[in-house]
Amino acid sequence: MMKPRKLGNSNLEVSALGLGCMGMSSGYGPAGEKQAMIAVIRTAVESGITFFDTAEIYGPFANELLVGEALAPVRGRVKIATKFGFRIGPNGERLDGLDSRPAHIKEMMEASLKRLRTDVIDLLYQHRVDPDVPIEDVAGAVKELIQAGKVKHFGLSEAGAKTIRRAHAVQPVTALQSEYSLFWREPEVEIMPLLEELGIGFVPFSPLGKGFLTGKIDENTKFDASDFRNIVPRFTPEARKTNQAVVDLLNTIASRVKATPAQVALAWLLAQKPWIVPIPGTTKLHRLAENLAGASLELTLSDLRDIKAASDKMALQGARYPTYLQKLIGL
């Protein structure tokens, strides 16, 4: 079984790897067949994963319903994280913009509890920072939910250093969820030193670079029409050709340690800090098993030095999100 990890200075203890559930319902092509997705989630539990990540916007709502049904029989063994903050219409339609008004947070909380079939959320994130609502008001609203016993821990996603500090002063932040991998190392500059200073855990999403670090994607790969990677600048054919260098690096290390590129990418992340808990997503049982093995792969200091030296020299091509989407989600 996986060694547990604590998220920062909190008492939130979870498996070293979590399971990101978004892709089962949205984002990477058609939603998975429900019973098959439930089987993946329940196999993850039986394999030692205790940390499951969802959000109201995934679907919208479909992913929380899926996660709630899958985990209901084992609720006492797992920790569930969900998120608020996007505008969603009454019939589950995605609307433009963000909404972190305290009243909306509380409404969303009640709806999420029902969908997740639980009476408490272990970790509640603000999904994206809302420029129209002071972060102190957001932290205060979650603090009230914690005092009411409906939430156990407060998290932020993709928040900047100043925002994290301001929120933490009102209600201690247990975890920050942001993109981090060998495909996107920006958090190392300012965010990770701050998390260390404040005792906040780090939950990297897209730890496999939205699939790129598995080595299964190249410049000729065609994505489903509904796959959002079609609009991501970092996934244009030209960018993929340039960015293949990072996969070549992983392949070199993988052959040395008798592992797969994905396992090396996850082991590298886990080796960065003891308070990092990546949440790779998958819809396939064999990928789940592969990722789990990455949690027990121990890279040597020499391996880690080689990876860092080579990665430091790489200039990866393409933005994480198209410009209009960056503005929409406040990045």
Q: Which residues are catalytic?
A: 58
Asked if 8 contacts 194 with a C-beta cutoff of 8 angstroms, the reply is: no
Please choose, from the candidates 71, 62, 70, the residue with its C-alpha nearest in 3D space to the C-alpha of residue 31: 62
Q: Cβ neighbours of residue 41 under 8 Å, at least 6 residues apart? A: 19, 21, 24, 52, 66, 67, 70, 71
Beta-strand (E) ranges in 48-162? 51-53, 79-84, 86-88, 94-98, 123-126, 154-157
Q: Long-range CB contacts (< 8 A, 24+ apart) of 240-245?
A: 240/212, 242/316, 242/317, 243/183, 243/212, 243/316, 243/317, 243/318, 244/218, 244/219, 245/314, 245/316
CA 17 to mean position of chain CA atoms: 11
Burial (CB < 10 A; 0-12, 13-18, 19+), residue 207, is buried
